[in-house]
């Protein structure tokens, strides 16, 4: 992870500043405020600002004033109730703003979540730095035959090294051409005073998707939970999951009651369709139910087996 000198100066100043405020603050989150949390090889996540805490969620639900009107256990119980019954608006009363440095290919996947406010580094205005993502060899895998978006078995060492070599060579070559087209280096210094460089908005188009970009990303807690539910999932792409895992830790520091509810009812919970619920009811009554009898597709049946952690036919046979 690399910060520019300007960013290092800004970080030092931000960590030094102290403010007196009447609004709610969270000491555990204040500890890491502005601090870059490393992700991948050059990326980071850092919390820039936030509004609200667990109490703000409770206050919004009760439409009450001040703290201390209820016991802590009651506050936690109410947040559990809100999460369990999908009462989402109280969670929208909390917001958080991140500064994130990430590879462009992850940014393009990330931006599909359209419920945040985003301002990205502009390569039309500034020269993009020479930083690109190279995966660790253990994350290089073949295409899954079952999942068009997923990975299968790891590449053997020889294949992995060849892929890494190609990635580095391509990234290095396109940046060399990028500087040549700009007639400038990454510090903005002119390379050849005898010629004009290509405009930045066109020179950037040759860069590969593993180059890093940066943005400020602000989102409310409800929509952040939706993002994390998808991107911290084991089926998500490893690279975006790495960011989601770091962000989960910031949420745990920020709103520990809401975080615990999210883990309990969303991240490690499950949802059943009407048909799947009927299958579970039948199992509890000792019925023998096959997939064909259930009316579920092969994929739905497999997903139910995974969710319940049992092999359905075998389990039923033992209970009949």
Catalytic sites, residue numbers: 231
Task: Report residue 20 as tokens.
Answer: 């007196």
99, β-bridge pairs: 46, 216
State how far the alpha carbon of 42 is from the alpha carbons of 45, 103, 133, 213, in Å: 11, 9, 7, 10
Question: Rounded CA gap, 139 and 242, in Å?
Answer: 12
State how far the alpha carbon of 90 is from the alpha carbons of 76, 247, 257, in Å: 13, 20, 13
- In this structure, what DSSP letter does residue 203 have? H
- In this structure, what DSSP letter does residue 219 have? E
Question: Rounded CA gap, 142 and 162, in Å?
Answer: 14
User: Is there a contact between 43 and 107 (Cβ–Cβ < 8 Å)?
Assistant: no
Task: Report residue 216 as tokens.
Answer: 């400020």
Widest Cα–Cα separation across the chain? 87
Phi then psi for residue 145, to 5 deg, are -85, -20
Question: Rounded CA gap, 103 and 210, in Å?
Answer: 5
Helix (H) or strand (E) holding 55: helix 54-62
Environment class of 137 (CB within 10 Å of its CB; exposed 0-12, middle 13-18, buried 19+): middle
């Amino acid at each position: 992870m690399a910060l520019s000198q300007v960013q290092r100066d800004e970080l030092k100043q931000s960590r030094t500043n102290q403010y007196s405020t009447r609004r709610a603050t969270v000491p555990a989150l204040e500890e890491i405020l502005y601090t870059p949390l490393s992700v991948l090889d050059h990326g980071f996540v850092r919390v820039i600002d936030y509004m609200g805490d667990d109490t703000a969620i409770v206050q919004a639900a009760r439409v009450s004033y001040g703290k201390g009107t209820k016991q802590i256990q009651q506050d936690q119980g109410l947040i559990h109730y809100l999460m369990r019954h999908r009462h989402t608006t109280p969670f929208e009363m909390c917001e958080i703003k991140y500064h994130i440095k990430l590879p462009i290919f992850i940014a393009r996947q990330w931006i599909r979540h359209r419920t945040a406010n985003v301002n990205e580094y502009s390569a039309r205005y500034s020269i993009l730095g020479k930083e690109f993502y190279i995966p660790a060899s253990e994350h290089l895998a073949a295409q899954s035959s079952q999942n068009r978006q997923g990975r299968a078995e790891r590449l053997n060492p020889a294949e992995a090294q060849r892929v890494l070599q190609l990635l580095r060579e391509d990234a290095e070559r396109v940046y060399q051409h990028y500087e040549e087209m700009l007639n400038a280096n990454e510090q903005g210094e002119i390379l050849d005073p005898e010629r004009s460089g290509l405009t930045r908005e066109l020179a950037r188009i040759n860069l590969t998707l593993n180059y890093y970009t940066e943005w400020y990303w602000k989102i409310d807690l409800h929509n952040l939970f939706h993002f994390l539910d998808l991107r911290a999932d084991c089926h998500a792409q490893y690279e975006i999951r790495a960011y989601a895992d770091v962000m989960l830790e910031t949420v745990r520091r920020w709103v520990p009651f809401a975080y615990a509810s999210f883990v309990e009812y969303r991240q490690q919970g499950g949802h059943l369709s009407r048909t799947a619920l009927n299958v579970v009811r039948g199992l509890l009554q000792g019925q023998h139910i096959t997939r064909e009898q259930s009316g579920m597709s092969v994929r739905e049946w497999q997903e139910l087996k995974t969710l319940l952690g049992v092999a359905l036919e075998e389990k039923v046979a033992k209970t009949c």
